[in-house]
Chain A
Amino acid sequence: MNSKLPLPLEIHDLTVAYQKKPVLYGIDLEIQEGSLVGILGPNGAGKSTLIKAVMGMIRPDDGFIKIFGETNRKGITRVGYVPQRENIDWDFPVTAMDVVLMGRIGHTGWFKRFSKRDRIFAAECLDQMNMLPYADRQIGNLSGGQQQRIFLARALAQQSDLYLMDEPFAGVDAVTEQTIVDLLKQLRNQGKTIVVVHHDLSTATDYFDFLALLNFRLIAYGSSGAVFNHDLLQKTYGGKLTVLSEIGEKKMNLNSPESRLFK
């Protein structure tokens, strides 16, 4: 907060409602540069809504969002977004390579054709996701995990400063899961900021440095060790936690008392 550089993502008093029924209420969140953040919460807690509000796909009813110190409409050009798989039209006539090249449009401009360098760079991104052999496949002809890796390759090609990923681990195979984790850590080590919507409690502390617990309100935000404890998980998941309490108990030994609580 007292650093001179503007924060990658600053959300203040954000409230979002669908047809007068609030989904998110009074969210305050400040994410420091270079953080790898997981957003956790039960189904319908507003995780995706939060990401969509940042992307400007949903208009908030109250509060504001700043991306690198600018309004989210302006700052959005520095954001790479990995959409949820079911939001993609998989019958669309594009190949894996075409999708990754779309990530380069921010660099080549809206009208200019892609240069050879763009193509080489896109191929490198595909290769990093081990997807180069599938470059000419139509995207619907790929398995779920491969499809996810295409969109991560596109995110790489975008060379954004802030990444928002909506459930990248949903329904992917073990190989892809590991590839994604490696990619997240690599991006973080490059100083990028990554915010990931996640739903698997058992892997949360291994994958992310920071966790945001969300259920209609922001229950807690802090380093994974500090936030991932029984009380806060209970608060987030409510009655559903009985099944999950074991995981919380296991991880409790790791936690430290100073977690930043937001109410």
Chain B
Amino acid sequence: MSSIITFLTGPWATPELISWNFQILVMGFLVCISCALVGTFVSLRRMSLLGDAISHGILPGIVLAYLFTGSLSLFPMWIGAALAGIACGVSIQWLHTKTRLREDAAMGLTFTTFFALGMVLLGLNAENIHLDVACILYGEIGLIPLETDWYLFGKNLGNQAIWSMGFICIFTQLATFFFYKILLVTSFDLSLAKSLGIPVNWVQYGLMFFLALVVVASFESVGVIMVLAMMILPPVSLSFLFTRLPCILWSCIALSIFYSLGGIHLAYAMDFPISASIALTAVFIFLPCCLLGSKGGLLIGLFDLVKKPQIEDCSTK
């Protein structure tokens, strides 16, 4: 009993802990929402692995941007990463269409090449670079409260990293809201999208751009590997509960609160790394959805088979 209370109150025991963990919670929440929104469309397009490929492929871009500017600030890194991500996406496409390679092979080839290039660049400049490989790979959201504060007109507005993630989160939400119909149609039926005159290739590039943006913005806190869990797990978990895209998108926001809260509590109680705890929480939420979800959950599926063997046809008069 007391362990449950410790589990629930542990991260919020003292005022220092509250202020520290609250920042982590907000950061985790913002990262989860941004990733989930982009991830929903990425997984709907059956591009989950492309997301993985791009999240690894941006490494050389990040390193080059760091080498040129010498700063860890978001904007140059994002430009570098976005360029590398698009180069990665384009070369996958090129290899896939112009050679006999299948798409999965093209992806495996491209993203390992890009990642290796990034590692080599890191190794060559090891003495004047302060990027930690482990940090890029796994992230360290626990150190987010150490980021410098953001001052605007002499006013201290609080943690800079949280502010920039917040802007990206709002930007992603606005884009999702504004381009919703376009994203829906291009993901569902490319031929209809084309016949509506929608520039489908640009939509694809735009989505890749957002993917790069969100991955870069989140890599400091959750790393390029965990970011995929935040992208893919929300839409696949929710697909067992809802049959409409708007429901899934809105629930992503609710789910993000659970992910980041659960992550913090789990990490605090078990002394786990926080980003891994968030991913584990996501898996813990996925399992009951997959088993009990009303839309094709495993157990419900078994029950359905017994109850009604086939879908009744609508025979009309």
A contact set with B: CB distance below 8 Å: 55-57, 76-77, 79-81, 83, 87-89, 91-95, 98-99, 102-103, 105-106, 110-111, 130-131, 133-134, 137-138, 141-143, 145-146, 154, 173, 175, 179
Contacts and interface: CB of A to CB of B under 8 A. Distances in A.
A57 B190 contact: yes
A102 B311 contact: no
B188 A77 contact: no
Nearest to B313: A143
B315 interface: yes
A77 B197 contact: yes
7 contacts: A77-B196, A93-B44, A95-B244, A111-B181, A130-B316, A134-B314, A138-B243
B313 A102 contact: no
Interface string B99-117: 0000000000000000000
A87 B190 CA distance: 10
Given A110-B198, A111-B181, A138-B295, A57 B245 contact: no
B314 A133 contact: yes
Interface of B: 44, 46, 178-179, 181-182, 184-185, 187-192, 194-198, 239, 242-245, 247-248, 295, 311, 313-316
Contacts of A145: 313
Q: Which of A110, A138, A143 has the most CB of B within 10 A?
A: A110
Contacts of B44: 92-93
B257 to A, nearest CB: 21
A57 B190 CA distance: 9
Contacts of A89: 46, 188
Nearest first, the 3 A-B pairs at minimum CB distance are A138-B243, A130-B316, A76-B195
Nearest to B315: A175
A194 B190 CA distance: 21
A162 B242 CA distance: 35
A173 to B, nearest CB: 7
A55 B313 contact: no
A102 B185 contact: yes
Nearest to B249: A93
A209 B156 CA distance: 76
B244 A102 contact: no
Contacts of B248: 93
Contact of B189 (A76, A77, A88, A134): A88
Given A83-B189, A110-B182, A175-B316, A55 B195 contact: yes
Contact of B191 (A55, A91, A105): A55
Contact of B192 (A91, A102, A141): A102
Given A55-B195, A57-B194, A105-B196, 5 more contacts: A79-B195, A93-B242, A110-B196, A130-B316, A141-B243
A143 B311 contact: yes
B196 A93 contact: no
